Structure 1
């Protein structure tokens, strides 16, 4: 299956991977800025999100991304991932390091991370609401947790729409198939990496950013004192310059590494 996606602009390719509270529409505030800066932007919906159907067999999120890029004829690319999309981006960068020129991770999740009590409690409450058929309640729970104080009502409504759509699509599935989780080693990541965390987010995501800043070969960590879990939506006017500066700094880095 080819992931639902869109492509805009021309130049070096930047791939945008969405949070699992959203879909590819979460990058609407970044798309014009990236295109205007001279990038070809590819954004896709993971299976069960946005316009991509739920999987009908076990699936591999990272392989899905690579197959889409192969279809589009993209050999080298920069990756930008938010939360669950960051977890997928890390896997892509570790399994196909020669193809990733740079890696920007916003409040990224991490495979194998032991969740805090607060994050576990959120997951349990979300499950309770969904099992009771209260999709609206589960949606509101996500909106309140994941957005920081700078998110306006239009942003909250956009996240509410994306999250509710994901719940409705996934709950309508006849059968649930688990993702395939191949082994990979973070030490294989060679791409320069920008890690962004928010002071109003759950502590898990700052802990992940700090850990990755120490484990990855070429990584820097930027904390945003105003941000929640979705800073690219909360204040795009602050996040877009950070992304553009980072991408400009590392343009062509993949070719240089292979020398």
Structure 2
């Protein structure tokens, strides 16, 4: 299993699959890189090189040793981690995609790496910063994870991660989602939640995303409703919007074939502007 050791002691796990134009996919919270398994298999078969990292503090990636009782992973730290990984792999330009928190990290990374990004995928995500209430809730969840770990939270989150129909019809997917959440290191997830609570508002930055962009959302997504995707679509000139009926917060897993069909078609036709 490949990994990259960073100067601060962090080790980033990742998969690098296939050959061709590189596509980098960033997972959401509280998941890991296996969230993208269907897309890795499909895109590699379609002739793309697909890199999926475990973000700092998730999956096989760990936080550096610290005496801080409440560590924080700012969004720009995630962006710096990705830059280091891309440089290590010799990837100059690439397509960058993400889902939920991963999509917000795509917007953060675009602020630092715009000249290297050929196209963008934003799935089930929002450009807005947290409201004061959302920030309080996110910080409270981080403290809960520190106290209780991941024992009970995944079961509470599941009905918002997947639509009711997906939970009924896709038992293997449901088990995979629960397994990812339960395996997430609570200290890493808490650190990212604290950093996420202080992230920038990206709405004004959206006008600076001038490369081809695909926006995907499910009609049953209560975390990032269709209105959030429409805001992205409106502010990113020339972007494409795909709305998947009956799908919750994980369209790449709930409707993987349709999601992949849209993504492959997009990648085949995108060109740097």
TM range (shorter): 0.7 to 0.9
Answer yes or no: is the 8 Å Cα contact 2:219–2:225 preserved in 1.
no
CA contact (8 A) 2:33 2:52 kept: yes
Aligned ranges 1:57-76 → 2 under 5 Å: 59=74, 60-76=77-93
Verify the 8 A CA contact 2:146 2:187 in the aligned structure 1: no
Q: How far apart, CA to CA, are the structure 2 residues paired with 1:91 and 1:171?
A: 18
Deviation at 1:108, TM superposition (A): 1.3
Q: How does 1:1-259 map to 2 (within 5 A)?
A: 1=6, 3-56=12-65, 59=74, 60-114=77-131, 130=145, 133=148, 135-148=150-163, 149-151=165-167, 152-170=170-188, 178=195, 185-202=205-222, 204-250=224-270, 253-254=271-272, 257=273
Does the 8 Å CA contact 1:187/1:216 hold for their aligned counterparts? yes
Aligned length: 249
Asked whether the 8 Å contact 2:145–2:186 carries over to 1, the reply is: no
Contact 2:122 2:213 in 1 (8 A): yes
For residues 203 and 211 of structure 1, the distance between their equivalents in structure 2, rounded to whole angstroms, comes to 15
Seen in structure 2, the aligned counterparts of structure 1 residues 39 and 120 have a Cα distance that, compared at 3 Å, is: same
Using structure 2 for the length normalisation, give the TM-score. Answer: 0.80
Determine the C-alpha separation between the residues in 1 that align with 2:159 and 2:135.
16
The normalised TM-score by structure 1 is 0.84
Q: 2 CA distance for matches of 1:131 and 1:188?
A: 37
Taking structure 1 as reference, are residues 219 and 172 closer, same or farther at Cα in structure 2, changes over 3 Å only?
Answer: closer
1:217 aligned counterpart, secondary structure: coil
Cα offset for 1:170? Answer: 3.3
CA drift of 1:135 comes to: 3.2
Residues 69/205 of structure 1: CA separation in 2 closer, same or farther (3 Å cut): farther
2:136 and 2:162 map into 1 onto residues whose CA distance is 17
Specify the SS of the correspondent of 1:51.
coil
Query: 1:169 offset after TM fit, Å?
Result: 4.9
- Distance verdict in 2 for CA 1:76–1:132, change over 3 Å: closer
CA shift in 2, pair 1:56/1:211, >3 Å: farther
Give distance in 1, aligned partners of 2:103 and 2:15: 19
Q: Which moved more, 1:48-57 or 1:182-191?
A: 182-191
Q: Per the alignment, do residues 124 and 199 of structure 1 end up closer, same or farther by CA in structure 2, a change over 3 Å counting?
A: farther
Structure 1 outlier segments of 4+, above 3 Å: 55-59, 119-132, 167-173, 176-184
